[in-house]
Amino acid sequence: MNKPIFFLISAFALFQIAFAQDETTSLPESTYNSDSIKLLIEVPFVDFPYQSIATQTRKNFIKSYANPSMAQSLGLSAGLYCGVHYGVKQAFKTLKSGFLRKFLTYTGVAVADYFLMTLPLGTAWLHEEYHRAVLTRRKINSFNDVYKFNITSPTIAVSRLKDGDLANLSDNYKADFRRLQTAGIEGEYHLVQRMQKYNFYYSQGLPHQIYYFLVTLNSAWYVSECATPQIDELIDEHNQKEGSNIEVRDFTGPDFTAWVDALFNPNVPYAARGTHPSGVGINRYIKYADLAPNERAYLKRQGNRQFLNFISPMMIGFNKIKLKSTEKGNIYGNFALRHILTPFGEDVCLDLYYQSPSEYAKNIFFSIHNYSNYNESFMGLEFGIFRQSILKKFELDTRLMLWNQPKNQDFYTTEQQTGGLLGLTVFYPVAQKWYPFAEIEGKTKGWVMGNVFLEENLSFRVGLRFSHF
C-alpha cells in the first residue's frame, strides 16, 4: 500500500480550516444532550465460524487472534481512529478562537492520520488484514509486514506464503482468489463507511474528513497507478530486491493488475505465470505489460470510477443535514456514493442516511446497489435500523440485504443469483459506558463488503462496545 503525496493532505486540511463546519457547533445543543455519543469503540472478541478456521490455520486458539476476522480488524481500526480524533478534538475544544481551534484540530488530525497509516491498527494494517482474512478463510497462513515497523517503506507486503498455497487458491477457489486482490481497499472503504455511520447516527461530530480524503485519494491513486506502465518499474525493483527469498515476497504485488488478470483469465493455471526472474519459485507479480488491451482499458475505467467515492457531503464535514423541523424534533439526512471492487467486477452503491425523532425506526440506513460484471448489471437493496430501544434496557441493530449478483461471482456470465443477508445485534448495558453485544448474521451465496464468506454462512459474534457520552 502506498502513501499519497502529503501536500495534498495538507491542502485539504487547509480547506477544512477555511470552509468546513465547526465540528463543535454543527449540531444543536439539544441533539448532543439527548443523542450524542462522543466516542464509540465496538470490537467483537469472538467471531465464529471464522475464528474456528483461524484456529485450524494457526493450530492454536490464542494464536488465531493474530489472524483477525474482517469484523475484528474493522472494530480495532475504527476504535483507533475515533479515539485519536476524539483526543485531538478534546485537546483544542476550549480555545475561544474558532479559526485557531479548527486550524489546530484539522492540522493535528492530518498529521496523526498520516503517521498512523503504517502502524498496527492503522490504515495499512487494516488493508493487509482484510487480504489476510481471505487467505485465512482457506486456511492459508501469512504475515502482515506492518509488524516490521518499516514506516518509511512506500509499500507493505503480506508475506511468508508458499507458492503452492496461492496456486491452490487460484485454481480451486477462483472467486476467493479474485476477492483476495481487492480486499485491501474494501477494508479501507468499509472503515470510511463505519466512521460516517458513527458520526451520523451517534452525532459524534468527530473530525474524520481528513481521514476520508486520505483513504479515498490513496485508494483511487493506487488503482489508477496500476493502470499505467510505471507500475512495471516498481515490480522490477521488488523482484530484484527480494531475489530468491520466497518468504519475503508479497502475495500478489500490485493488487489490481493481478485482479484484472484473474477476472479476464479465470481458467489459466497459476503456474502458467512462469518462473520468478531469480529462477526460484513462481513469478507472482502481474505487470501492466502482461495485460491485454481490453484488460488495461477495464482497469483504467475502474481507476477513474474510484473517484466516485469522493461524492458525499460527509467528505467535507457536513455530517448531518437538517431536512425538516417538527414539533418532536429535527429530521436529518445525508448520502454517500461508493465504488467498491468485487470478485465479479464492481459495486456502485448509494448510501442514504436518515434520522428522525420518532420513537420507532429512528435511525434508518438504506443503500441501493448496482453490481456489475463485464457483460451485465444486477441490482441489490440494503436496509438497516440502528439504536432501536427494545424492552427499555436493550438496544437493537438490524440489517437486511436482498440482491441479484452474477451467478458464482463470475465475470462473464449474464445469469443472476438471488440472495440476501439478515443480521441482528443486541446490546445490553452492564454499566454506564459498557455494552456487551451479541450478533448473528446469516447470508446466502454472494459478496458482501466486510463478510469474508462468499458461500452460504451463518456467523455469531460476541463483543463489547464502549460508549463515552
Beta bridge partners of 417: 405
Q: Smallest Cα–Cα separation from 24: which of 78, 80, 102, 84?
A: 102
List the chain residues with pLDDT less than 70.
1-35
pLDDT of residue 189: 98
Find the distance separating the first CA and the last CA of the chain, reported in whole Å.
36
Round to whole Å and give the CA distance between 75 and 79.
6
Provide the residue range defining the domain that includes 335.
6-468
Can you give the C-alpha Rg of the chain in angstroms? 22
Region for 408 from its dihedrals, namely left if φ exceeds 0, alpha if ψ lies in -120 to 50, beta otherwise: left
- Establish if 195 belongs to a structural domain: yes
pTM: 0.94
Q: How confident is the model over 340-396, as pLDDT tens digits?
A: 999 999 999 999 999 998 878 899 999 999 999 999 999 999 999 998 888 878 999
- Establish if 159 belongs to a structural domain: yes
Q: How confident is the model over 30-61, as pLDDT tens digits?
A: 333 345 788 999 999 999 999 999 999 999 99
Do 43 and 464 touch, CB atoms closer than 8 A? Answer: yes
Residue found by looking up cell 531475489 in the block: 243
pLDDT of residue 12: 57
Round to whole Å and give the CA distance between 6 and 218.
11
- Establish if 1 belongs to a structural domain: no
Q: Is residue 372 within a helix (H) or strand (E), and if so which, with residue range? A: strand 363-372
- Establish if 39 belongs to a structural domain: yes
- The three grid cell numbers given for residue 38, joined into one nine-digit string: 462522543
253 Cβ contact list (under 8 Å, min separation 6): 235, 238, 284, 285, 286
- Establish if 216 belongs to a structural domain: yes
pLDDT of residue 9: 55
pLDDT of residue 185: 97
Helix, strand and coil percent figures for the chain, each rounded to 5: 45, 25, 30
Mapped onto helix, strand or coil, the DSSP state of residue 173 is: coil
Neighbours of 42 (CB within 10 A): 22
The tally of domains found in the chain comes to: 1
pLDDT of residue 32: 33
- The three grid cell numbers given for residue 196, joined into one nine-digit string: 460516517
